[in-house]
């Protein structure tokens, strides 16, 4: 009798399949992100900058790499969650410069503690889906190819308060795309063409937004009318017009440099504004046309080609004034003390100021602490006496790259008494001086003046030497330069000037040819 054939139930095959699957998918102990990446701070800070880029040499074996789903030729295309299996406590994760074109939706699933994630300098075309990144607070996606925001962030990163999307290809934004707790938003160097009431709606905690270098042509009403907003940056756009009620009336700072504005009338609706930056417009905005904002403490503006800062409007609270890169020809302390009595920083660099004037001012002490006068056409000391008797609080004076042949005592601030300490730090580099005996007084203040790249043109014994070297040697004093030599030394638009009698008993004159 033939033996009875038992029926096959299929259970052994199923068990065998499950065993193989477990062996295949179980991550071996030697898979550890810290073998390829740099781990710091009790392994909570992991930097994989450039580690997975094409052609990178990985420390894992071929079997390890194949296991975790990496193609050795194109490693960035198949990054696997297994890579993080032994490092679930990561808080800072840096994946910059790896050439990622996409991120698997489940890549960060087990990294629930990550708070700071950097994916900048990759090739992403969309914002990844961040499943389970419920602790994420800061996300950096700069320098990618992202074209739209989508809804992934709001759905999967509810605690996000900082989002940097600078240098992408975004053309449109809508407030309901962002997590509601967002405080800082970077969108500079994108392709956004318009901002309206809905662009940032609902972001009640937003404090700072940067739209530098986009294609924005106007600011519509309600665009930045968010109660917590403090700083709006709109530099380098195409803004022609700002409508009424565009900004939060409690805004602190507005940056509008390099646009095509012709007037700023609607800025008057921001009474608490402290900083206004409106340099380099296609049409000059006159100082008189800027609304009188009672709390304005910092103003940066390209003024019209007037020779001074006098506009007749007192800005009594302004503390920082930047008028660099204009056509100013004279600094008058009379205007400074009258119109800007609280100013502590003044930047006059890159103007055409030839002389400093302290005329019609006496018995006044101005609080100015920092005076920047780099790359002026300065050649002479104060008119009408020593202006530093008024600027008694000056701590920093920058006079680099000017046309000074001599550093006269009246052009460098000093104490009223020769015995009192020298309080002001002076920078007078990149100049060419006549280093004769009249300059020996600089030895006493050597530690308070910087002469980087300042050389001597005369007399013959010192020509070509660095002034700083002479000062270290105690400034050996050769025969003085003759008046004829002093007046002949010049190297830079033809302007006939007179050199003051600070070094010689009678006036001489020479022609300066400036290299502009």
| Torsion angles phi and psi, residue 383, rounded to 5 | -80, 150
**Residues 66 and 155 reside in one and the same domain:** yes
302 vs 210 pLDDT, higher one? 210
DSSP 195: B
Separation in Å, CA 245 to CA 161, 221, 266: 26, 5, 8
DSSP assignment string, 217-266: -EE-TTTB--TT--EEE--SS---EE-TT-B-TT--EEE--SS-----GG
Asked whether the bond before 459 is cis by omega within 30 degrees of 0, the reply is: yes
DSSP 23: H
| % of the chain at pLDDT higher than 90 | 27
Q: For residues 308 and 328, give the distance between their C-alpha atoms in angstroms, rounded to a whole number.
A: 5
pLDDT at 177 over 60: yes
Maximum average pLDDT range among 9-18, 397-406, 496-505: 397-406
pLDDT at 208 over 90: yes
| Torsion angles phi and psi, residue 357, rounded to 5 | -120, 125
Q: What is the predicted pLDDT for the residue at 8? A: 53
Residue 306 resides in a domain = no
Regarding beta strands 455-458 and 508-512, do their DSSP bridges make them parallel or antiparallel, or are they unpaired? Answer: unpaired
**Residues 208 and 144 reside in one and the same domain:** no
Q: How many residues does the chain have?
A: 516
Sheet arrangement for strand 382-383 = 330-332, 355-357, 382-383
In the predicted model, what is the mean pLDDT of residues 297-316?
Answer: 63
* Pick from 49-58, 215-224, 463-472: least confident: 49-58
Given 280, 300, 320, the domain boundary residue is 300
153 and 185 in contact (C-beta within 8 Å)? no
Q: What is the predicted pLDDT for the residue at 27? A: 45
Separation in Å, CA 76 to CA 98, 102, 144: 7, 8, 14
Note the pLDDT tens digit of each residue in 149-161: 988 888 889 999 9
Note the pLDDT tens digit of each residue in 55-76: 666 665 444 544 444 444 444 4
Q: What is the predicted pLDDT for the residue at 71? A: 47
Note the pLDDT tens digit of each residue in 260-276: 988 887 887 888 899 99
Report the 10 Å Cβ neighbour count for 12.
Answer: 9
Measured at the alpha carbon of residue 299, what is the angle toward residues 307 and 404, in degrees to the nearest 5? Answer: 45
pTM of the model: 0.70
Q: For residues 51 and 134, give the distance between their C-alpha atoms in angstroms, rounded to a whole number.
A: 26
Residue 148 resides in a domain = yes
* Pick from 181-185, 233-237, 394-398: least confident: 394-398
CATH of residue 287: 3.80.10.10
Report the 10 Å Cβ neighbour count for 289.
Answer: 14
Give the domain extent around 73. Answer: 27-169
Cα 22 from chain centroid? 53
Q: What is the predicted pLDDT for the residue at 73? A: 47
Count the domains in the chain.
3
| pLDDT band with cut points at 50, 70 and 90 for residue 2 | low
* Pick from 15-24, 101-110, 136-145, 193-202: least confident: 15-24
Q: What is the predicted pLDDT for the residue at 506? A: 35
DSSP assignment string, 338-396: HH-TT--EEE--SS---EEE-TT--S------EEE-TT----S-EETS-GGGT-TT--E
| % of the chain at pLDDT higher than 70 | 74
Six token digits for residue 36: 């390829």
> CA-based Rg of the chain, rounded to a whole angstrom?
33
Note the pLDDT tens digit of each residue in 330-377: 788 887 878 888 888 999 898 888 877 877 777 678 889 999 989 988
**Residues 44 and 103 reside in one and the same domain:** yes
Given 129, 150, 169, the domain boundary residue is 169
* Pick from 397-401, 417-421, 495-499: least confident: 495-499
Maximum average pLDDT range among 9-13, 20-24, 216-220: 216-220
pLDDT at 493 over 50: no
**Residues 141 and 240 reside in one and the same domain:** no
Q: What is the predicted pLDDT for the residue at 31? A: 61
Q: Which of 190, 178, 233 is nearest to 208 (CA)?
A: 233
Residue 2 resides in a domain = no
Given 149, 169, 189, the domain boundary residue is 169
**Residues 65 and 140 reside in one and the same domain:** yes
**Residues 31 and 163 reside in one and the same domain:** yes
Residue 292 resides in a domain = yes
pLDDT at 125 over 70: yes
Residue 474 resides in a domain = no
* Pick from 78-92, 161-175, 469-483: least confident: 469-483
Q: For residues 408 and 399, give the distance between their C-alpha atoms in angstroms, rounded to a whole number.
A: 13
Residue 462 resides in a domain = no
In the block, residue with structure tokens 């205007």: 335
**Residues 45 and 135 reside in one and the same domain:** yes
**Residues 108 and 216 reside in one and the same domain:** no
**Residues 215 and 289 reside in one and the same domain:** yes
Q: What is the predicted pLDDT for the residue at 1? A: 54
Q: What is the predicted pLDDT for the residue at 105? A: 81
pLDDT at 310 over 60: no
Q: What is the predicted pLDDT for the residue at 102? A: 83
Measured at the alpha carbon of residue 284, what is the angle toward residues 368 and 399, in degrees to the nearest 5? Answer: 35
Q: What is the predicted pLDDT for the residue at 123? A: 92
**Residues 35 and 165 reside in one and the same domain:** yes
**Residues 214 and 156 reside in one and the same domain:** no
Residue 263 resides in a domain = yes
Q: What is the predicted pLDDT for the residue at 248? A: 92
| Average confidence score pLDDT of the chain | 77
Q: What is the predicted pLDDT for the residue at 372? A: 92
CA atoms within 13 A on the CB side of 300: 17
**Residues 158 and 31 reside in one and the same domain:** yes
* Pick from 249-258, 300-309, 371-380, 451-460: least confident: 300-309
Q: What is the predicted pLDDT for the residue at 484? A: 45
Continuous segment of H or E residues that includes residue 62? helix 62-67
Residue 62 burial by CB count (10 A; 0-12/13-18/19+): exposed, middle or buried?
A: exposed
pLDDT at 497 over 50: no
Q: For residues 82 and 68, give the distance between their C-alpha atoms in angstroms, rounded to a whole number.
A: 6
Residue 88 resides in a domain = yes
């Amino acid at each position: 009798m033939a033996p009875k054939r038992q029926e096959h139930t299929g259970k052994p095959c199923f068990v065998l399949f499950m065993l193989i699957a477990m062996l295949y998918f179980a991550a071996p102990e030697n898979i550890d992100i810290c073998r390829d990446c740099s781990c710091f701070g009790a392994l909570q800070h992991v930097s994989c900058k450039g580690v997975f880029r094409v052609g990178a040499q990985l420390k894992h074996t071929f079997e390890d790499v194949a296991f975790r789903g990496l193609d050795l030729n194109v490693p960035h295309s198949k990054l696997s969650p297994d890579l993080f299996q032994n490092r679930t406590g990561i808080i800072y994760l840096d994946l910059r410069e790896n050439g990622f074109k996409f991120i698997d939706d489940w890549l960060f699933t087990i990294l629930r503690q990550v708070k700071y994630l950097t994916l900048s300098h990759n090739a992403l075309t969309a914002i990844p889906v961040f499943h389970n990144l419920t602790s994420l607070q800061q996300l950096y996606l700069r320098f990618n190819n992202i074209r739209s925001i989508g809804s992934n962030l709001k759905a999967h990163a509810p605690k996000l308060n900082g989002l940097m999307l600078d240098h992408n290809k975004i053309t449109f934004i809508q407030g309901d795309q962002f997590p509601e707790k967002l405080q800082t938003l970077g969108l500079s160097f994108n392709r956004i063409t318009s901002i309206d009431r809905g662009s940032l709606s609902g972001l009640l905690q937003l404090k700072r937004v940067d739209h530098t270098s986009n294609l924005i042509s106007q600011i519509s009403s309600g665009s930045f009318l968010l109660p917590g907003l403090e700083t709006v940056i709109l530099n380098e756009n195409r803004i022609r017009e700002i409508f009424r009620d565009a900004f939060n009336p409690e805004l602190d700072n507005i940056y509008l440099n390099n646009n095509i504005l012709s007037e700023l009338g609607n800025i008057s609706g921001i009474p608490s504004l402290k900083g206004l930056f409106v340099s380099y417009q296609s049409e000059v905005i006159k100082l008189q046309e800027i609304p009188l904002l009672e709390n304005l403490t910092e103003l940066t503006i390209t003024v019209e080609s007037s020779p001074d800062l006098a506009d007749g409007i007192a800005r009594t609270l302004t503390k920082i004034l930047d008028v660099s890169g204009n056509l100013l020809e004279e600094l008058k302390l009379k205007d400074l003390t009258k119109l800007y009595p609280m100013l502590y920083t003044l930047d006059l660099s890159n103007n055409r100021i030839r002389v400093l004037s302290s005329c019609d001012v006496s018995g006044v002490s101005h609080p100015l602490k920092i005076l920047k006068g780099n790359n002026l056409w300065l050649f002479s000391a104060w008119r009408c006496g020593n202006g530093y008797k008024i600027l008694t609080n000056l701590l920093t004076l920058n006079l680099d790259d000017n046309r000074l042949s001599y550093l006269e005592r009246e052009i460098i601030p000093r104490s009223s008494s020769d015995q009192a300490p020298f309080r002001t730090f002076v920078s007078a580099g990149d100049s060419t001086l006549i280093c004769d005996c009249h300059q020996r007084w600089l030895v006493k203040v050597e530690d308070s003046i910087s002469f980087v790249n300042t050389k001597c043109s005369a007399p013959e014994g010192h020509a070509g030497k660095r002034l700083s070297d002479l000062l270290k040697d105690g400034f050996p004093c050769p025969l003085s330069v003759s008046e004829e030599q002093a007046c002949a030394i010049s190297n830079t638009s033809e302007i006939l000037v007179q050199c003051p009698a600070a070094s010689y008993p009678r006036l001489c004159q020479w022609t300066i040819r400036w290299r502009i």
